[in-house]
Amino acid sequence: MRCFFARRAISRAEDRGTKLPQWVERHAGRCGSCGDYARFTASLKERLAGERPAVLDAVPEFPLNEAAWAAAGDRGAQERVPRRRFVLRPLPAAAGALVVLAAGLALLLVALREPAPSAQDRTAALAALKSFTAVPDRIPGVVTEAEFSLEKERRILEKELSSAVEYLQARLNIKIERREPRGKST
C-alpha cells in the first residue's frame, strides 16, 4: 500500500516538476522497486527525447499532397463568391420587395379608409373643449362648499364641548371660565 502511494507521489512530482516529498525519498531509498520507479521516471524524459530523432528518421518518406491544399484553397475561394452575392439573388430579392410593397399598400388602404371628421363631430369636439375650459369657473363654488362643511363641523364640536363643561360645573360645583385665544384677547 505504501509503495502504491509512493509511486503515485513520484508520478505527481514528475508531472508537476516538483521535488519528491521526503517520506517518498526515504521510502524509495529503502524499497528497491520504488527506487527503480523513481529512477526510471526521472530518466524517462531524457531517454525518450534522446530516441525521438531516431524514431522520426525511421518513418518512411512520403510526399505531402500540396496540390490538394491548392484545390481546397481555390474551392474555398469559389464558395465564398456566391456567399457574398447571396443578398443579390433574384428570387429572395423579389420576394423581399413584394413583401415590402404589400405592407406599404396595406398601410395606405387603412389610412384611406378612415373617414374625414364631419361638422357634427367638430361641434362635439368644441363642446368638450369648452367643458374643460369651464372647470376653473366652478372652482370657487367648490371651495365655498368645502368651507361651509368645515364650519358646520366646528359648530357641532363647540356645542358638544360647552355642554360637557356645563355638566362638569354642575357635577363638581366649580366654575370653569372660557379663555379666549391669545390672538383674540388683544
Partner 1 sequence: MADQGPNAEKTDDELAREARAGSRRSFEELARRYKRRLFVYLRPRVGSDEDAEDLVQETFLKLYRNIGSYDPEFRFSTWLYTSAGRLAIDAYRKGAASKDKLAGESAAELPDPAADRDRDPRLSGLWAAARGLGGDRFRVLWLRYGEDLTIDEIAAVLGRTKLAVRILLHRARTSLMSIAGPSPARTIAPAKAADARGARSG
Q: Does 1 bind partner 1 (CB under 8 A)?
A: no
Q: Which stretch binds partner 1 (CB under 8 A): 51-59, 91-99, 131-139, 140-148?
A: 51-59
- Interaction residues for partner 1, span 121-180 (CB under 8 A): none
Measured in whole angstroms, the distance separating CA 92 from the mean position of its chain's CA atoms is: 36
* 74 vs 153 by CB, closer to partner 1: 74
Q: Which stretch binds partner 1 (CB under 8 A): 41-49, 114-122, 135-143, 175-183?
A: 41-49
Q: Does 48 bind partner 1 (CB under 8 A)?
A: yes
182: cell is: 391669545
146: cell is: 368645502
* Local structure of 61: helix, strand or coil: coil
* Local structure of 115: helix, strand or coil: coil
Q: Residue from 1, 18, 54, 78 that binds partner 1 (CB under 8 A)? A: 54
- Cβ contacts of 147 within 8 Å, gap of 6 or more: none
CA distances to 25, 26, 29, 39, 109 from 22, rounded to whole Å, are 5, 6, 11, 16, 91
Q: How far is the CB of 14 from partner 1 (least distance, A)?
A: 8
Q: Residue from 2, 3, 5, 12 that binds partner 1 (CB under 8 A)? A: 12
* 43 vs 162 by CB, closer to partner 1: 43
* 22 vs 133 by CB, closer to partner 1: 22
- Cβ contacts of 176 within 8 Å, gap of 6 or more: 165, 168, 169
C-beta separation of 24 from 9 below 8 A? yes
C-beta separation of 13 from 20 below 8 A? yes
Q: Does 55 bind partner 1 (CB under 8 A)?
A: yes
Which residues bind to partner 1, rule: CB under 8 A?
Answer: 7-8, 11-12, 14-15, 20, 25-26, 28-29, 35-60, 62, 64-66, 68-70, 72-73, 76
